[in-house]
Structure 1
Amino acid sequence: MQYLFDNTFNDIWEYQDKFFQINFQAKIGTHCPVCGKKCNYNEIPPYYRYAIDTNPFKKEKVPIARFRCKIVGLTFSVLPHQLIPYCQYTVNAIIQTLLEVYNFQERGQKGYYGVCLQMDPDCSATPFLILTWAKLLATGLKRGHHILHRLFPGKLPEDNNIFSIIKKIYLYIKGICSPEPPGRFGVSQAMIHFFKNTNNHLFGLSSSDRNRSP
């Protein structure tokens, strides 16, 4: 199980820097997310996973806190909302890239290719990867709309044409960020709101979700 860590850090690198000062248990609460009881779940050594930002480019391993339920013996981790399960690129990197693609498309250009050309080669970004990000966000926003529309009255166009996905995401993000300009902060708020209401991640599937998938 991956518990979403709602935090106030500006980015994943500030989280990385402050990791060993964070009182995760105070944030999680007294009840174990696995068994639902006051089992005095205990912290175990963290694991490390890569995080990648694209502007400017940065790729480093960041620690992820882990805990073990004393009743059933299963572990759970605490994933900062700056990251998506099983995705190395940060939410900030994905959102900013897709918004830049939208800007290219509005000028009548092939945004996927244009954005890749201006990115650091070490990002390893390709048009196909950016399309994958677009599908990831579009799927999550569509899946979570019944929860998100209560606070974020964005609209999702019904067509599924791959070339309209970026515009679909832009319009939705613009709605959840209103009146602020579209960006990662409104998206983070949507991720946190969705998790608090469902205990599931808005984007991607955690390990527990994958185990339940047919």
Structure 2
Amino acid sequence: MSDVTVIIPCMNEAGSLPGVLARIPDGYRALVVDNNSTDDTANVAESLGATVIREPVPGYGSAVHAGVVAAESEVVCVLDGDGSMDPQDLPLLVAALDDADLAVGRRRGGNSPLHARLGNAVLSMRLRTKYSLPVHDLGAVRAVRRQALLDLNVSDRRSGYPLQLLVLASKAGWTVTELDVSYSPRTAGVSKVSGSVGGTVVAVRDFWKVLK
């Protein structure tokens, strides 16, 4: 499928974007959402041929939602702009939509901090036991049909967006599939979430509100 937009929510990822954009699959369109960057993120993305929009409302969910609204393709993928995941894995997720409503990536490899791995494991287990979702990761990379995603009305505009998406998908009776994707250390900068214990605590708090 070639009618695919890759939404890349970014805040201060100028150092990583060249490598990420160079790996976007042929025929896919890159849409970078600049979420209040103070570095050269937008200019770097534009110079490399990506479409750039700016979302002033802070938060991961705000950036992703703005990208979904702006996209015009049948299918959208969401991928972090930090270089930790390989855009070349996206066609596998897109192909899975032949039999599923939502395809999410399970990160393999990398070296996430212990506090981030523990938070992810606890929340993923909750999704499996309470919502019967076959997932072991919170969907840092995903593929989904754009209109179906908009109709799902994911409202979280902070870190809880990917978790709320999964919960709402379960409640809507969606078929969710999880595939292994490669995962490496970010190529530049520091993670806004897993880069500190405080960032992880805030994210887990956002996540847990969704699960209540």
TM-score, with length taken from structure 2: 0.25
Q: Comparing both chains, which one has the higher relative contact order based on Cα–Cα distances under 8 Å and sequence gaps of 6 or more?
A: 2
Return the structure number with greater helix share.
Answer: 1
Max radius of gyration: which structure? 1
